[in-house]
Structure 1
Amino acid sequence: MCFVLGITAVDPARSSLLFERFMSPERSDPPDIDVDFEHERREEVIQEIYRRYGRDRAAMVSEVISYRGKSALRDVGKAFGLSMDQVDRLSGTMTHGWEGVDVPAARVREMGLDPKDARIEQVFKIARQIQ
């Protein structure tokens, strides 16, 4: 798509890129466009898009996601530097329907974790917020 739209000069056919990776019967969704650039040059890219296509033909779009409970605990735990063993214990004992309700201290201790550990408290707090 990026080549067809003139966003890149890389011709996927001439570069032997695998078209099947993006269009195949196994995919239920159409392909999307993903363009990466340095975050320091973000404003420069935005201004070039406005210059090239006009402000009336360009828009800023964002996507907001939310996590399911176990995934939230896993990702926040990793971000807080918990070991994979701790992350596994933390998320492994939670049910799939965990909705961020407070977890009793006894249950946290059963996981082999300290419920008074500031990192553990923060992991639960942030995991609740991103659900």
Structure 2
Amino acid sequence: MKNENRALAFAPLIMPFAFTGYASFAGISGFNMQEGLLTFFLLFLGTIVAGLPVAYLYEFFIGMRFYQLLAKKNRVNIVTLTLGGVFVADIPMLLIWPLANGEGSVSFAVTVQLFSFVGFMIGLNFWVLLNFESLRDRVKGLRHKA
């Protein structure tokens, strides 16, 4: 239970880094550093302030239920957690899909990719935090064999 609580508490903290990293990679204005470092830093802070509360709400109200379902069915693994993270992150995109008609500076496809990547990274981070002790012991074992 300790690992589950730690994973639930800390997994969403990767969200601003994943969001900013993919937005920079996708060339979204402001995140691609063409408007300066101050703009990039302010957008990163805005992502933290606006995005972390939403990530935690999704984690506790949707992601935790999904995890409990997976745990009940003994299906907790890296694939189910990362794909579950993608699905949970894309729920808002699936809800606004009928309303999206290509208006705005960022295309709908890029937005879905961005949210999918963020969900993937949160799911991956959740899996790593859930299995932290066993992963650490494996690395120690490999280091002692060499």
Q: With structure 2 as the length reference, what TM-score do the two structures score?
A: 0.30
Greater relative contact order (CA < 8 Å, ≥ 6 in sequence):
2
